[in-house]
């Protein structure tokens, strides 16, 4: 079973690449964004209201909540190929993920950075907003939230690149290429 982390700033295409791997290559996407949005939708959710408020202003959900939801989901997916999308987002989460995987006798195979120019992300998010149906649009899809998320990414998530380089599992792909070319590069890495 493969365990892969996709890294990159908001709007870089992590979700798109995860979907391709899920639809065509028998992977299960473990997206913290999806986990958090699902938690918001649950009735009687322990964390739903807090998560919703934080997501609407572009702030990160506390590690304790994210880690709790992730560990619960990892244990359900023990015998599956997993793509971690949007997690880990900081060094603490990376270390906790490693520890959680060790407890079930697995480790990460690859960390893949989808590298993009930050200036291009604004155009991508505008396009995503314009192409979304109103009822399907994510509450965090707006420019103000995106800019806040990029700053958070630079300060908290970008240091994970060094963490995975030290563990010799980091690979980089040029996220400025087409979706198809990015996917081909990812497939070469994980094969």
Q: What is the mean pLDDT of residues 21-49?
A: 89
The dihedral of CA 134, 135, 137, 143: what is its sign?
Answer: positive
**Token pair in block for residue 78:** 């023990």
**Token pair in block for residue 8:** 């990159």
Q: What is the mean pLDDT of residues 114-120?
A: 84
Highest mean pLDDT among 90-94, 95-99, 118-122, 174-178: 174-178
pLDDT value at residue 142: 67
Q: Which residue has the higher pLDDT, 99 or 130?
A: 99
Q: What is the mean pLDDT of residues 42-52?
A: 88
Tell whether the model's pLDDT for residue 139 goes beyond 60.
Answer: no
**Token pair in block for residue 146:** 């995106």
Grade residue 179 by pLDDT with cuts at 50, 70 and 90.
very high
Query: Tokens 């604004």 — which residue?
Result: 122
Q: What tens digit of pLDDT does each residue of 158-176 get?
A: 889 999 999 999 999 999 9
Tell whether the model's pLDDT for residue 55 goes beyond 90.
Answer: no
Tell whether the model's pLDDT for residue 137 goes beyond 60.
Answer: no
Alpha-carbon gap, residue 27 to 19, rounded angstroms: 9
Q: What is the mean pLDDT of residues 114-138?
A: 74
Return the HEC string of the chain.
Answer: CCEEEEECCCCCCHHHHHHHHHHHHCEEEEEHHHHHHHHHHCCCCCCHHHHHHHHHCCCCCCHHHHHHHHHHHHHHCCCCEEEEECCCCCHHHHHHHHHHHHHCCCCCCEEEEEECCHHHHHHHHHHHHHHCCHHHCCCCCCHHHHHHHHHHHHHHHCCHHHHHHHCCCEEEEECCCCHHHHHHHHHHHHC
**Token pair in block for residue 68:** 């709790």
Grade residue 187 by pLDDT with cuts at 50, 70 and 90.
very high
Q: 172 pairs with which residues across the strands?
A: 113
Instruction: Sketch out the chain's domains with CATH numbers.
Output: 3-190 (3.40.50.300)
Tell whether the model's pLDDT for residue 182 goes beyond 90.
Answer: yes
**pTM here?**
0.76
Alpha-carbon gap, residue 61 to 54, rounded angstroms: 6
What is the overall mean pLDDT for the chain? 85
């Amino acid at each position: 079973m493969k365990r892969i982390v996709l890294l990159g700033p908001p709007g870089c295409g992590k979700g798109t690449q995860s979907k391709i791997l899920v639809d065509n290559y028998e992977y299960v996407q473990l997206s913290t964004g999806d986990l958090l949005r699902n938690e918001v939708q649950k009735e009687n959710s322990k964390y739903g209201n807090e998560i919703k408020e934080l997501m609407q202003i572009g702030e990160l959900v506390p590690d304790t909540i994210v880690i709790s939801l992730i560990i619960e989901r990892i244990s359900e997916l023990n015998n599956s190929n997993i793509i971690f999308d949007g997690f880990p987002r900081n060094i603490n989460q990376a270390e906790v993920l490693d520890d959680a995987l060790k407890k079930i006798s697995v480790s990460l195979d690859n960390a893949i950075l989808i590298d993009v120019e930050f200036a291009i992300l604004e155009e991508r998010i505008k396009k995503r907003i314009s192409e979304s149906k109103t009822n399907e649009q994510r509450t965090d899809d707006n420019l103000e939230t995106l800019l806040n998320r990029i700053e958070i990414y630079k300060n908290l998530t970008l240091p994970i690149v060094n963490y995975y380089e030290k563990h010799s599992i980091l690979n980089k792909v040029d996220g400025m290429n087409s979706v198809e070319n990015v996917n081909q590069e990812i497939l070469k890495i994980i094969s």
